[in-house]
Chains A and B, each alone.
Chain A
């Protein structure tokens, strides 16, 4: 039984007989590093696009939390993805966004129009965090961008 095997392995790990495999702890540390303390999480909302002469290949996602709306649009280049976004209303002077993939974080200023851009990210999991001075950070849930 596969469950018994897992159980036994867990017991052996717990009793200290077996060391935790290094890639397991590395993965755990990686995941832990992605956590942002006290962040408010913005939930995914449906968004639509106007009628145009295209089957638009770009991905549009919208997140809403704490009165802020994040519109993200992801386009593909040769293998890499570009993220353009808009936060409304404008979160104010000194606000920054982090556009994050599991292994790469790009920090960008937000223009007065609320727009921001990050280019050259690998496709895969993606999340955006907005840092405002004096407020808790707001992070979007992780979305998977498939190439």
Chain B
């Protein structure tokens, strides 16, 4: 009262140093460099002036600034110094502990952080308690206690919304929203996550809290993938990469999160690229919690991308780190990677089977990993079969299929009893419903096959694939769908294996196509009858390659027959392809190319040579065959060849081209930078097609032209990224036109010619969905794409393309025009994708 009577506000009572410290604290978030200097000055002055309160605050300022700058170790050091200051008010010390909660959590000690929080609680005012709650939530989330974490956030946010609104209050409000959003994301509630993060972004932008704004923005790539928007995710990623420049730890954390989403979307190659960038930065900034998680993800990536040895090492390291952080609920995940690596490296033993089962049990107990537990249990059952332990296999399969059988039992309406199941039983049922469909159906099929019921096994696989197809239908983006479909890949492979065992060509064809239709409906929406394909082929032939484990097979369809050929080892074929591509790339002596091409032809075409004779050909590749420059094979010289993702995909491409009533096709051409012959090539192309026009070689105009033209020709540098086929692209003047830029376009020119190296290369994460430029154009409605499969000389590209367009303008279809142009110029590096047998002019 007296203070008010004297006309002084309560804050005027404060020591001037304390007031300065309060101001500096606020600056720590906005301008950490300046706050660090201010904090140091205040601390020194407070020590001289014996003002413990200001000293504590100065040290806390330095800690917060250090943390913003990514130096967690120094941040903790300053906080510990502050705790050691004697005579400071208890509330100030408690505030130091509040900050320590965050830092301890980030450094990998969430359990200790919670203890620190408990120490601080009693001495904090209600508002500070709310702030503490937002930080406790992070520690709780790291310990897997998500429900408590959300409750903690809810409580805190309720108090913070009505707070006076100092910058610190806003910071905790925005930060609390951020944390809650992230926890929602962990629990798979993407809409709630998006809502919280958007609110956080708005508040922090409004309050000038750029760091928090960046953090919210940095989570958008992750969330975008989770919501099924890969194109948007990579765009957000590029933005975030730019905004986080100079904040290595934050950037690394963003990459690790993004990688987690990519991994969940079954894109391990892309995830690996992100993680290999993130892990060293997380190590350098001693962010132990994020590091352990990132390392576990990296181990999963190594296993999925075929390096079990490395996977095992990384997983063991991750397990040690997680154990040191008391994060026991994570340990079975690391153990799973180790066991699966051993499964890939060692012969199966009964001991390994027992360990697999034990790990599956542990994962199941952890609730959140039920789906992973089921998949591992299936692997354990298969391993048991490999050592002829049928009782164990059957017991494990039964655990996976129990629920399915229960559901199938018919019960008249009204007679169903209320469940009186005991709690453990109810829990078991809840877990059974979490068994992923492909795993359950695979288990059912294996069970049927064990009882020699082949029809039942086929039915189980067919039902499973139908459900997978329904589940991934939600994804509009073809690449994401392809990756999501990977979940059904092993089931599909099992169906194909059963068909191959039966040996009926039509059945093998049907199963190969069935899977391709699940993987890429943009290419092939429905199953097609082989007889329909044969009718459409006319005089031509279609070869669909099929991989059954390590063996390559081919189904040939022509007007008079359907036949199945076993071609030999996939490894041998891969070697031959790599050798041919090497010879072409190095422009070795002619003899070397011919020898390599003849060898590949011997492996993949010779067994069908008689039936093939000189028919025009449609090729449906599998695996590494997506990288073959088919025109280089001696018997395919001068023969029209189209490459399609599947037989149904070829049929769809055939019907994609809406014929232009009467008029000439609209031709648009563009040239990319730093090539000597691209400009002349474009001029020649336009000379071939009267009325054609050139557009500037920039991304915008080219995308616009794609939406209007009938034929689009690009002469430019091309790049292919096997690990991230979506970032493969064509180099234009203002940057890359990447495959993922195309995901948003509404339509594509009917014929797209990419006169560039490697632009035709694809990687098929699942069969039927080759990812790369040709597949993306075709999915957007192109009927035919012509593109280079190997590095092609600048001048040579001009020569091929000049002849190609002359023939095209003379009324030849693209496949025939390309075959002829390649033979004339002796450059077999280009391939025709889609349906290339319809003339354009």
Question: B693: which A residues are within 8 A, CB to CB?
Answer: none
A84 and B269 contacting across the interface, CB-CB below 8 Å: no
> How near does chain A come to B394, taking the closest CB pair, in angstroms?
34
Stretch with Cβ within 8 A of B (4 or more), from A4-12, A14-22, A53-61, A137-145: A53-61
B791 and A53 contacting across the interface, CB-CB below 8 Å: yes
Question: A123: which B residues are within 8 A, CB to CB?
Answer: 307
Q: Is B539 an interface residue (CB 8 A)?
A: no
Question: B304: which A residues are within 8 A, CB to CB?
Answer: 79
Distance in angstroms between the alpha carbons of A80 and B755 in the assembled complex: 28
Q: Is B575 an interface residue (CB 8 A)?
A: yes
Distance in angstroms between the alpha carbons of A73 and B581 in the assembled complex: 11
Query: B587 — nearest CB in chain A belongs to which residue?
Result: A50
Q: Contacts A51-B793, A119-B571, A120-B571 known; A78 to B595 CB distance under 8 Å?
A: no
Question: A56: which B residues are within 8 A, CB to CB?
Answer: 585, 757-758, 791
Q: Is A92 an interface residue (CB 8 A)?
A: no
Question: B583: which A residues are within 8 A, CB to CB?
Answer: 115
Q: Is B102 an interface residue (CB 8 A)?
A: no
> How near does chain B come to A31, taking the closest CB pair, in angstroms?
15
A73 and B791 contacting across the interface, CB-CB below 8 Å: no
B731 and A55 contacting across the interface, CB-CB below 8 Å: yes
> How near does chain B come to A94, taking the closest CB pair, in angstroms?
19
Q: Contacts A79-B268, A79-B269 known; A73 to B718 CB distance under 8 Å?
A: no
> How near does chain B come to A116, taking the closest CB pair, in angstroms?
8
Distance in angstroms between the alpha carbons of A58 and B306 in the assembled complex: 19
> How near does chain A come to B822, taking the closest CB pair, in angstroms?
16
Question: B310: which A residues are within 8 A, CB to CB?
Answer: 122, 124
Q: Is A147 an interface residue (CB 8 A)?
A: yes
Q: Is B586 an interface residue (CB 8 A)?
A: yes
Distance in angstroms between the alpha carbons of A50 and B584 in the assembled complex: 12
CB < 8 Å neighbour of B272 from A73, A118, A147: A147
> How near does chain A come to B671, taking the closest CB pair, in angstroms?
11
Distance in angstroms between the alpha carbons of A113 and B596 in the assembled complex: 10
Distance in angstroms between the alpha carbons of A75 and B450 in the assembled complex: 42
Query: A113 — nearest CB in chain B belongs to which residue?
Result: B592
Interface residues of A in 60-102 (CB under 8 A from B): 71, 73, 75-80, 82, 84-86
Distance in angstroms between the alpha carbons of A78 and B721 in the assembled complex: 10
Q: Is B33 an interface residue (CB 8 A)?
A: no
Distance in angstroms between the alpha carbons of A121 and B299 in the assembled complex: 17
A76 and B595 contacting across the interface, CB-CB below 8 Å: no
Q: Contacts A54-B758, A113-B595 known; A79 to B717 CB distance under 8 Å?
A: no
Query: A51 — nearest CB in chain B belongs to which residue?
Result: B794
> How near does chain A come to B727, taking the closest CB pair, in angstroms?
11
B791 and A77 contacting across the interface, CB-CB below 8 Å: no
| Max chain B C-beta neighbours (<10 A), residue from A55, A78, A86 | A78
CB < 8 Å neighbour of A53 from B309, B596, B755: B755
> How near does chain A come to B764, taking the closest CB pair, in angstroms?
9
Q: Contacts A117-B579, A119-B578 known; A147 to B723 CB distance under 8 Å?
A: yes
B758 and A77 contacting across the interface, CB-CB below 8 Å: no
B574 and A50 contacting across the interface, CB-CB below 8 Å: no
Q: Is A52 an interface residue (CB 8 A)?
A: yes
Q: Contacts A52-B792, A53-B717, A54-B758 known; A80 to B585 CB distance under 8 Å?
A: no
Question: A119: which B residues are within 8 A, CB to CB?
Answer: 571, 574-575, 578, 624
Question: A29: which B residues are within 8 A, CB to CB?
Answer: none
Total inter-chain residue pairs, C-beta < 8 Å: 128
Q: Is A111 an interface residue (CB 8 A)?
A: yes
Question: B731: which A residues are within 8 A, CB to CB?
Answer: 55
CB < 8 Å neighbour of A54 from B309, B765, B791: B791
Question: A51: which B residues are within 8 A, CB to CB?
Answer: 793-794
Binary interface profile of B, 271-306, with partner A (CB < 8 Å = 1, else 0)?
011001000000000000000000000000110111
Question: B579: which A residues are within 8 A, CB to CB?
Answer: 84, 111, 115, 117
Interface residues of B in 725-756 (CB under 8 A from A): 731, 755-756
Distance in angstroms between the alpha carbons of A113 and B589 in the assembled complex: 9
Q: Is A103 an interface residue (CB 8 A)?
A: yes
A50 and B723 contacting across the interface, CB-CB below 8 Å: no
Question: A58: which B residues are within 8 A, CB to CB?
Answer: 585
CB < 8 Å neighbour of B756 from A49, A54, A73: A54
Question: A112: which B residues are within 8 A, CB to CB?
Answer: 595
Q: Contacts A115-B583, A120-B571, A147-B723 known; A75 to B578 CB distance under 8 Å?
A: yes
A78 and B582 contacting across the interface, CB-CB below 8 Å: no
B788 and A53 contacting across the interface, CB-CB below 8 Å: yes
Binary interface profile of A, 20-44, with partner B (CB < 8 Å = 1, else 0)?
0000000000000000000000000
Distance in angstroms between the alpha carbons of A52 and B581 in the assembled complex: 15
Query: A79 — nearest CB in chain B belongs to which residue?
Result: B305
Question: B716: which A residues are within 8 A, CB to CB?
Answer: 53
Q: Is B172 an interface residue (CB 8 A)?
A: no
Distance in angstroms between the alpha carbons of A104 and B344 in the assembled complex: 14
Query: A104 — nearest CB in chain B belongs to which residue?
Result: B309
Q: Is B122 an interface residue (CB 8 A)?
A: no
Distance in angstroms between the alpha carbons of A5 and B587 in the assembled complex: 57
Q: Contacts A80-B305, A147-B272 known; A54 to B717 CB distance under 8 Å?
A: yes
> How near does chain A come to B470, taking the closest CB pair, in angstroms?
27
Query: A77 — nearest CB in chain B belongs to which residue?
Result: B722
CB < 8 Å neighbour of B309 from A75, A77, A120, A122: A122
Distance in angstroms between the alpha carbons of A82 and B306 in the assembled complex: 13
Distance in angstroms between the alpha carbons of A53 and B789 in the assembled complex: 11
Binary interface profile of B, 493-536, with partner A (CB < 8 Å = 1, else 0)?
00000000000000000000000000000000000000000000
| Max chain B C-beta neighbours (<10 A), residue from A75, A86, A103, A119 | A119
A53 and B723 contacting across the interface, CB-CB below 8 Å: no
Query: B794 — nearest CB in chain A belongs to which residue?
Result: A53
B575 and A53 contacting across the interface, CB-CB below 8 Å: no
Distance in angstroms between the alpha carbons of A75 and B574 in the assembled complex: 13
B791 and A120 contacting across the interface, CB-CB below 8 Å: no
> How near does chain B come to A105, taking the closest CB pair, in angstroms?
13
A53 and B722 contacting across the interface, CB-CB below 8 Å: no
Question: A71: which B residues are within 8 A, CB to CB?
Answer: 586
Question: B307: which A residues are within 8 A, CB to CB?
Answer: 79-80, 122-123
CB < 8 Å neighbour of A73 from B582, B595, B719, B792: B582
Distance in angstroms between the alpha carbons of A56 and B792 in the assembled complex: 11
Question: B591: which A residues are within 8 A, CB to CB?
Answer: 113
Question: B792: which A residues are within 8 A, CB to CB?
Answer: 52-54
Interface residues of B in 553-583 (CB under 8 A from A): 571, 574-576, 578-579, 581-583
Distance in angstroms between the alpha carbons of A111 and B583 in the assembled complex: 12
Question: B269: which A residues are within 8 A, CB to CB?
Answer: 78-79
> How near does chain B come to A122, taking the closest CB pair, in angstroms?
4
Distance in angstroms between the alpha carbons of A107 and B788 in the assembled complex: 32
A54 and B719 contacting across the interface, CB-CB below 8 Å: yes
**27 residue pairs A–B, Cβ–Cβ below 8 Å:** A49-B791, A50-B791, A51-B793, A52-B791, A53-B757, A53-B797, A54-B717, A54-B758, A55-B719, A56-B585, A56-B758, A57-B721, A57-B722, A73-B585, A76-B723, A77-B624, A77-B763, A79-B269, A82-B578, A85-B582, A86-B588, A113-B589, A115-B596, A117-B579, A117-B582, A147-B276, A147-B723
Q: Which 10 A-B pairs have the closest CB atoms?
A: A79-B305, A54-B757, A84-B582, A52-B791, A122-B307, A53-B757, A117-B575, A117-B579, A119-B574, A82-B578
Inter-chain pairs besides A80-B307, A115-B592, 11 sampled, C-beta below 8 Å = A51-B793, A51-B794, A53-B718, A53-B788, A79-B268, A79-B301, A79-B304, A112-B595, A113-B595, A115-B579, A115-B583
Give residues in B with beta carbon < 8 Å to A.
Answer: 268-269, 272-273, 276, 301-302, 304-307, 309-310, 571, 574-576, 578-579, 581-583, 585-589, 591-592, 595-596, 624, 675, 716-723, 731, 755-758, 763, 765, 788, 791-794, 797
Give residues in A with beta carbon < 8 Å to B.
Answer: 49-58, 71, 73, 75-80, 82, 84-86, 103-104, 111-113, 115, 117-120, 122-124, 147
